[in-house]
Amino acid sequence: MELLARFAAGDLEAFETLFRQHQCDVFRWIMRIVRNAATAEDLTVEAFWRLYRAHARFDPVAGNFSAWLRRIATNVAIDHLRRSRIEVPLPDDLPALASLHPGEQMEMRGQILRALGKLSPGLRSVVLLALVEEEPYAEIAQSLGISENAVRVRVFRGVRILRKELSRMGAHP
């Protein structure tokens, strides 16, 4: 019996095989949205938990397993952003902002992160994936279950809000 068919039938060994095949990809994808390794690990387990609970709904013949898993992972990450305080941690190895003193760099980064925090979780995830991670719009669209045009609109709206917030803070992009 094929692996996906066994998974759809509720076989735990098939699930383990799929888990081991896909855990790194799911972790990396969630990491791009939540930007914290420990949280991304927990959410990876949560995504696979939701996947396992829904195994009977998966069609092993017509279904696209990777796309389905990616969509669950995206939903888990966005749910987390909704629940948690708006916070985007600063990594340690940031590139230096050209022509700015260290104090000004920190202030500028703080302003950018605060502006990012003003976006709704749905918009923030699209902006991060499209502009920071440079994921193709088609891939973002598939992961959210929306059209590429809808992704373009969300990026546009996100950029508008970010510009407005940064202008309000006195930082002009």
Q: Is 170 in the site for other proteins (CB under 8 A)?
A: no
Spatial separation of the C-alpha atoms in residues 51 and 60, rounded to whole Å: 14
Interaction between residue 140 and other proteins (CB under 8 A): no
Residue 143 touching other proteins (CB under 8 A): no
Grouping H, G, I as helix, E, B as strand and the rest as coil, residue 36 is coil
Residue type, 24: C
Q: Which stretch binds other proteins (CB under 8 A): 3-11, 17-25, 55-63, 75-83?
A: 17-25
Among 14, 69, 123, 128, contact with other proteins (rule: CB under 8 A) = 128
Q: Is 9 near other proteins (CB under 8 A)?
A: no
* Piece of the chain touching other proteins by CB under 8 A; list 61-69, 79-87, 131-139, 143-151: 131-139
Contacts 24+ apart (CB under 8 A), 151-158: 151/126, 154/122, 154/123, 154/126, 154/127, 155/126, 155/127, 155/130, 155/131, 157/123, 158/119, 158/123, 158/124, 158/126, 158/127
Q: How far is the CB of 32 from other proteins (least distance, A)?
A: 5
- Nearest residue to 161 via CA among 107, 135, 109, 122: 122
Task: Judge whether 22 and 11 are in contact, CB under 8 Å.
Answer: no
- Our CB check for other proteins shows the closer of 59 and 156 to be 156
Question: Site residues for other proteins, window 23-82 (CB under 8 A)?
Answer: 23-24, 27-28, 31-32, 35, 37, 40-41, 44-46, 48-49, 52
Among 62, 83, 85, 91, interactor with other proteins by CB under 8 A: 91
Q: Between residues 27 and 65, which has the closer beta carbon with respect to other proteins?
A: 27
